[in-house]
Amino acid sequence: MKPCFAHLSAAVALAATLAACNKDAATAPAKNAPNPNMALVASDTGGGGGGPGQSHFVSNGDFGSVNWSSFSGGTPGDSGGGGFVFGSLGVNRGGSVTNPTAFLSYFVEQCDAFFFCTFVQGFGTIPARDLVGGGKQLHLSTNTSGNPNFFTFGGPAGLITVDWSANGAFALRSSGTSDLTFPGFRQHSTGVSTSASANTSGNVVGVPIPTFSPGNIGTNQSVTIDIQH
């Protein structure tokens, strides 16, 4: 895990994740609802290692996304207070009828009280069977260790489990183009999505997602996700 001093606070990172260029009206104010296409953080071609590259994925069908933050601790091994953790994860179904797949990515920033931070990223395709459910319930369980199509940066591969359960707080329809940019990374997404708010919980390679963290569960319609890393 490569340490560095944070250039973006968790609040700024979260705001960037929720940015979108075009949104349709929703049943609740859009400012309170995250763009379901923007939970993905990064991707790359190939797999099994780290390096610059590009990726193109077309998502049709179910997706789940979640953003979370906590302020009880800092970097791994820091049991004291004053730090924070910010995380973002998204998983999308895609592929063909005869060859279905799923696309997963996550980003975790962990900082101590002095804003000394580490960053963990993972992205790539996972077996379609690792994402089950749909509608109001979605369950992700995958082990990225040994997956030749999945990249990790700044941290180990391993087990990732997330559960989504729709809570009825709001519904959202997003249409158009959105961009997400971090230093050395850009994601461009285009398409139509419908979603509902959901409670989430889980664990991302040892980093817990707090129970009832706000998320989205929904359906993509030919959403293209292009990554430059």
Residue-wise pLDDT for 60-79, tens only, equals: 999 999 999 887 654 444 44
pLDDT reported for residue 81 = 60
pLDDT reported for residue 40 = 32
Cα–Cα distance measured from residue 106 to residue 171, given in angstroms and rounded to the nearest whole number: 23
Which residue in 107, 216, 88, 113 sits closest to 155, CA to CA?
107
Cα–Cα distance measured from residue 163 to residue 80, given in angstroms and rounded to the nearest whole number: 28
H-assigned helices in the chain? 10-17
pLDDT in tens, 34-60: 333 333 333 333 343 334 457 788 999
| Farthest-apart Cα atoms in the chain, separation | 51
pLDDT reported for residue 51 = 43
Task: Give the pLDDT band of residue 151 (cuts 50, 70, 90).
Answer: confident
pLDDT reported for residue 195 = 92
The average confidence (pLDDT) of the chain is 75
* Lowest mean pLDDT segment, chosen from 76-80, 114-118, 163-167, 171-175: 76-80
Which residue in 71, 112, 110, 66 sits closest to 88, CA to CA?
66
Residue 129 three-state SS: helix
Task: Give the pLDDT band of residue 122 (cuts 50, 70, 90).
Answer: confident
pLDDT reported for residue 24 = 42
pLDDT above 70 (res 170): yes
Cα–Cα distance measured from residue 118 to residue 228, given in angstroms and rounded to the nearest whole number: 21
pLDDT reported for residue 184 = 56
pLDDT in tens, 76-99: 444 456 788 989 899 999 988 889
Tell me the one-letter amino acid at 142: T
Residue 163 three-state SS: strand
Highest mean pLDDT among 6-20, 135-149, 172-186: 135-149
Tell me the β-bridge partners of 193. 174, 220
* Residue 129 or residue 70, greater confidence: 129
Residue 99 three-state SS: coil
Chain length of the chain: 229
